[in-house]
Amino acid sequence: MTDAFNLDGRVAVVTGGGRGIGRAIALELAAAGAAVVPTARTSEEVEAVAAEIEDADGTAIAATADVTDRDAVSAVIERTEAELGGIDIVVNNAGFNPDDALGRPEDVSTESLGDVLAVNLEGAFEVTTAAAESLFESGGGAVINVASVGGLVGLPRQHPYVASKHGLVGLTKSMALDWAPEVRVNAVAPGYVSTALTEDLEANERLRQSILDRTPLERFATPEEIAGPVVFLASDAASYVTGECLAADGGWTAR
């Protein structure tokens, strides 16, 4: 790794950092030198990730918060600033796509749409703005939003999710304009990744095969394959990159 990828001395908050893609991001940011605060609702999972980082001689604080709870989010940001001295990197990775938000538009309730937007879009806005002062003081502040190919193209039967991820890509671009030159704001758009979120998809042979048929690299990604692009965007190696959404999708959107 060249020095430009090194994150020594940086502090990163990773939402949804307890499992799946967020866990991999937390571990890779720590491996690159950052002190990391994995945060999610399930305390055992964020504690396990923090312990893994500390076992590898890194620095981590496990923090429990729901990204839709403004007070809980503020508490995580304030605790991070108090205990680690500031925040340089925010990774908005918390997200979900519940069963009641799947289906044809006329079969999905406005309430389900609101629930998905509240976590996937408003949660990211809340966490990022709560960390704004720290990010501006950092001198190398970076925000990375974990979007989806569903933030770049439409996907049938996933309307709330697609709306939330398109919103997140839009937010990435507009915040990048207002926060330049001090803070860079970027997104990654994963294709299909093997995690709890896609377990049912992968178990359904017909669906799995239709995804593989559309993916030039012919497989699901591992969570670590999404973490690499996030570390890049967080680091000085991406110092001239802002307002970008980097697809890590095995070529899905190249078609």
Catalytic residues: 161
How far apart, in whole angstroms, are the C-alpha atoms of residue 136 and residue 143? Answer: 11
Dig out the tokens for 181 from the structure: 């030159």
Q: What whole-number distance in Å separates Cα of residue 155 and Cα of residue 84?
A: 40
Count of residues of this chain found to bind ligand NAP when the rule CB under 6 A is applied: 28
Binding flag, residue 66, ligand NAP (CB under 6 A): yes
> DSSP assignment of 6-29, as one string?
--TT-EEEEETTTSHHHHHHHHHH
Interaction between residue 193 and ligand NAP (CB under 6 A): yes
Count of CB atoms situated within 10 Å of the CB of 173: 15
Q: Up-side HSE of residue 89: CA atoms within 13 Å toward CB?
A: 30
Q: Which of 7, 14, 21, 61 binds ligand NAP (CB under 6 A)?
A: 21
Site for ligand NAP in 131-160 (CB under 6 A): 146, 148
| Minimum separation from the CB atom of position 255 to ligand NAP (A) | 17
94 binds ligand NAP (CB under 6 A): yes
Closer by beta carbon to ligand NAP, 140 or else 228: 228
Name the residue with tokens 């899905």.
Answer: 252
Burial class (CB in 10 A: 0-12, 13-18, 19+), 155: middle
Q: Which is nearer to ligand NAP, 119 or 138 (CB)?
A: 119
From the list 60-68, 74-82, 125-133, 227-235, the region that binds ligand NAP by CB under 6 A is 60-68
Which residues of this chain interact with ligand NAP, rule CB under 6 A? 15-16, 18-22, 40-42, 45, 66-68, 93-96, 119, 146, 148, 190, 192-193, 195-198
